[in-house]
């Protein structure tokens, strides 16, 4: 009953807020619903990422301090007494967790997006912060925590060898480091609750993997992972005793199943499977979609995500909880944290038209208490529904895709606009990732500006079995692009897209796809947007970060090897840089100066080539960003300029670029600033302040 009343109250709030949006002077637009302010979509959340302390006494979350995200803490019964426990004034904090001692929080942060993460411990009583890894140009990562050794955490550092991080214990109070295991060339370790490594993974030269198990003070080969299974077979966790391994495992089958393997004997049992989708491919509770027993680490529930997400229980221990939460929220919830006695959970909830909210779930009382909305300014905003669509590629592969239409454009038939619309093909990165159903800020922004938005899980995307994933090998810029073209053709046949007004837009691999589309399919797209995309594949392979060295065989398997004549020819053929003269329509290119994955030269090269050939191009360079824009100032300025760019080539709705959009952004426009309507005047107004 309480859940039902909460749902009724939420719907009432949304209805009242929607009435406000209709009349709000802050939300003016023309030819459609009110324009949603860019800051509401791309600014920092007001509160986010609630996590309960292991002892159940405290609640932490992220919220701004002087416009920068920091960690706040409050007694769980008195959230009004919340206070910040960190004072970052630079990039903001996005990754944090509780230590098992209940007295410390640990967070990660890099410098300007360079991905050389440092770890910091926060004493929540003293309000002090200690840099646990004060080493320049060294990358630290969390590797484990233990209820047996509460005052320490397990971390990795690539201080000795930038390619292969060693395993350390670190004391959260003193910062003292103790070497646990030197890395002889492994991709990863898996340790027990005594911080003793029990198994390790080594990528083999043929892009397979070898799982090794501990033997005395050394290692012995144990399980072999064939190359076709590398990206669909992963270690999830060890049991509490360190004797049993739980894996997401695709060996001998197509989709990855959940399996238990005895480390001593190799005996294997199947725990769960789904013939449509891989298990363990959606991140929740740090275990790839698997909820485990707090004491034994035995999997108790898992996620399945084909078109939409759903939870399933293993056994009866969490059955009632899964049913309760699924009744309340459908499949659109995720487990954020748990108290050590497992009575309190924090739950993140979102849907396609509702940005994230956080709840406290009391498992004993079966009650939900809403903590906050991450973006309360969007409650009642004219957000658009997202609809799954399974599109058939020319060779029969099924492409799970997601379509978002401008609100009110499909009055005659839901999901089908009354007239064909300008469309943005929004391509995900990776490519070893996937699009999923749910709230997506880019979809909402573009749909609100009048565009149909289509995202496609092309071959090579993860989550749909190894046959689908491996179908992308050696098909960068070919069959992977064909899948995008087939989805565009579907949208045109369905009278969703106006064939004369289609743009291709993406970041990382999606940026590469945008460059490929603008070269290979030059007459298909009216314009393209490339965020930190790869333009020259051989240079990309030569400049990958050192900590990706162990994974390099997978890149060669997918792309081709620069060590062979045939491989070099393939890499050149599939590099958009060498076909840039085929581009006919305007390009917008954006790049972070400190990008460790796709170096700035990748964008420099394509921009210089387009400029030399007289092809319209605008280049946005952010001097304090890396692979992806973390700072809200960067995101807001980027979407403001992109909105102007798309409006000019597709005819969508545009809110003018203002000085406020540019404030605080480390933006330079070395090429093409004059092509962005309103940019120069906004910049002058900002400089005059």
**Residues in CB range of 246: below 8 A, 6 or more apart:** 235, 236, 237, 238, 239, 258, 259, 260, 261, 271, 290, 292, 297, 298, 299
Q: Is 661 exposed, middle or buried (0-12, 13-18, 19+ CB in 10 A)?
A: buried
Q: How far apart are CA 314 and CA 418, in angstroms?
A: 45
> In this structure, what are the phi and psi dihedrals at residue 462, rounded to the nearest 5 degrees?
-95, 160
Of the candidates 461, 508, 634, 637, the residue annotated as catalytic is 508
From residue 651, give the alpha-carbon distance in Å to each of 30, 382, 528.
13, 20, 14
Q: Where are the beta strands (DSSP E) in 446-538?
A: 452-456, 497-507, 527-531
Judging by DSSP bridges, how do beta strands 152-157 and 140-145 pair with one another?
Answer: antiparallel
8 Å CB contact between 637 and 631: no
Nearest to 258 by CA among 298, 285, 228, 225: 298
Of the candidates 229, 373, 483, 595, the residue annotated as catalytic is 595
**First-to-final CA distance of the chain:** 55
8 Å CB contact between 606 and 580: yes
Instruction: State the Cα angle at 202 between 292 and 468, rounded to 5°.
Output: 70
Q: Is 104 annotated as catalytic?
A: no
254 beta partners:
none
Q: Is the Cα torsion angle 534, 536, 538, 542 positive or negative in sign?
A: negative
Token pair recorded at residue 286: 């740090």
Nearest to 181 by CA among 194, 173, 207: 194
Q: How far apart are CA 102 and CA 388, in angstroms?
A: 42
8 Å CB contact between 100 and 145: yes
Of the candidates 627, 630, 637, 661, the residue annotated as catalytic is 627
8 Å CB contact between 637 and 667: yes
Q: Kind and range of the H or E element at 520?
A: helix 509-520
3-state secondary structure of 103: coil
8 Å CB contact between 94 and 86: no
Q: How far apart are CA 345 and CA 360, in angstroms?
A: 6
Q: Is 428 annotated as catalytic?
A: no
Q: Is 32 exposed, middle or buried (0-12, 13-18, 19+ CB in 10 A)?
A: middle
Q: How far apart are CA 60 and CA 83, in angstroms?
A: 10
**Residues in CB range of 541: below 8 A, 6 or more apart:** 552, 555, 556, 559, 562, 571
| CB burial string 155-166: b at 16+ within 10 A, e below | bbbbbebeebbb
Q: Is 627 annotated as catalytic?
A: yes
Q: Is 18 exposed, middle or buried (0-12, 13-18, 19+ CB in 10 A)?
A: middle
Rg of the chain over Cα atoms, rounded to whole angstroms, equals 25
Active-site positions? Answer: 508, 595, 627
């Amino acid at each position: 009953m309480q859940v039902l009343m909460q749902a009724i109250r939420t719907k009432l709030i949304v209805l009242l807020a929607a009435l406000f949006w209709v009349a709000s002077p802050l939300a003016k637009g023309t030819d459609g619903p009110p324009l949603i302010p860019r800051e509401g979509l791309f600014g920092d959340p007001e509160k986010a990422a609630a996590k309960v302390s292991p002892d159940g006494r405290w609640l932490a979350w992220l919220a701004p301090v002087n416009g920068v995200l920091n960690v706040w803490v409050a007694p769980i019964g008195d959230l009004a007494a919340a206070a910040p426990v960190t004072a970052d004034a630079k990039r903001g904090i996005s990754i944090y967790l509780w230590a098992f001692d209940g007295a410390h929080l640990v967070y990660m942060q890099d410098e300007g997006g360079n991905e050389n993460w440092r770890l910091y411990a926060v004493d929540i009583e003293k309000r002090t912060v200690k840099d646990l890894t004060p080493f320049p140009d060294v990358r630290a990562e969390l590797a484990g925590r233990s209820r047996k050794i509460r005052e320490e955490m397990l971390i990795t550092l690539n201080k000795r060898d930038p390619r292969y991080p060693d395993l350390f214990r670190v004391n959260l109070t003193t910062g003292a480091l103790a070497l646990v295991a030197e890395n002889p060339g492994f991709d990863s370790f898996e340790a027990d609750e005594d911080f003793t490594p029990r198994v390790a993974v080594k990528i083999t030269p043929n892009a397979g993997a070898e799982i090794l198990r501990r033997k005395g003070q050394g290692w012995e080969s144990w399980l072999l992972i064939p190359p076709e299974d590398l990206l669909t077979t992963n270690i999830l966790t060890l049991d509490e005793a360190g004797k049993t391994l739980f894996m997401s495992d695709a060996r001998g089958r197509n989709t990855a199943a959940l399996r238990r393997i005895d480390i001593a004997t190799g005996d294997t049992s199947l725990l769960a499977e789904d013939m449509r989708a891989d298990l363990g491919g959606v991140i929740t509770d740090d275990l790839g979609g698997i909820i485990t027993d707090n004491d034994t680490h035995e999997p108790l529930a898992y996620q399945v995500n084909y078109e939409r997400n759903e939870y399933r229980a293993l056994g009866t221990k969490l059955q009632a909880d899964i049913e309760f939460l699924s009744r309340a929220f459908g499949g659109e919830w995720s487990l954020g944290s748990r108290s050590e006695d497992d009575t309190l959970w924090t739950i993140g909830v979102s849907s396609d038209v509702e940005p994230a909210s956080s709840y406290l779930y009391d498992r004993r009382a079966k009650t939900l208490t809403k903590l906050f909305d991450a973006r309360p300014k969007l409650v009642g905003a004219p957000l658009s529904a997202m609809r799954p669509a399974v599109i058939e590629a020319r060779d029969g592969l099924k492409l799970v895709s997601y379509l978002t239409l401008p609100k009110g454009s499909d009055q005659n038939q839901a999901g089908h606009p009354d007239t064909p619309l300008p469309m943005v093909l929004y391509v995900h990165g990776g490519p070893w990732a996937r699009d999923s159903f749910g709230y997506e800020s880019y979809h909402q922004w573009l749909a609100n500006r009048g565009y149909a938005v289509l995202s496609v899980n092309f071959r090579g995307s993860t989550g749909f079995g190894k046959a689908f994933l491996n179908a992308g090998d050696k098909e960068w810029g070919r069959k992977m692009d064909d899948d995008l073209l087939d989805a565009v053709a579907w949208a045109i046949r369905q009278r969703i897209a106006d064939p004369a007004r289609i743009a291709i837009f993406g970041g990382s691999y999606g940026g590469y796809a945008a460059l490929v589309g603008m070269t290979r399919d030059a007459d298909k797209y009216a314009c393209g947007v490339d965020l930190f995309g790869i333009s020259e594949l051989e240079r990309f392979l030569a400049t990958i970060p050192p900590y990706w060295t162990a994974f390099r065989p997978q890149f060669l398997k997918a792309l081709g090897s620069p060590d062979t004549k045939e491989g070099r020819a393939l890499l050149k053929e599939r590099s958009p840089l060498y076909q840039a003269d085929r581009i006919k329509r305007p390009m917008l290119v954006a790049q972070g100066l400190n990008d460790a994955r796709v170096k700035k030269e990748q964008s420099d090269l394509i921009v210089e080539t387009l400029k030399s050939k007289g092809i319209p191009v605008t280049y946005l360079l952010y001097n304090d960003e890396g692979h992806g824009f973390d700072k809200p100032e960067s995101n807001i300025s980027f979407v403001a300029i992109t909105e102007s760019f798309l409006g000019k080539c597709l005819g969508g709705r545009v809110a003018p670029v203002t000085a406020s959009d540019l404030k605080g952004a480390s933006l330079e426009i070395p090429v093409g600033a004059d092509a962005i309507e309103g940019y120069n005047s906004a910049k002058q107004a900002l400089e005059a302040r």
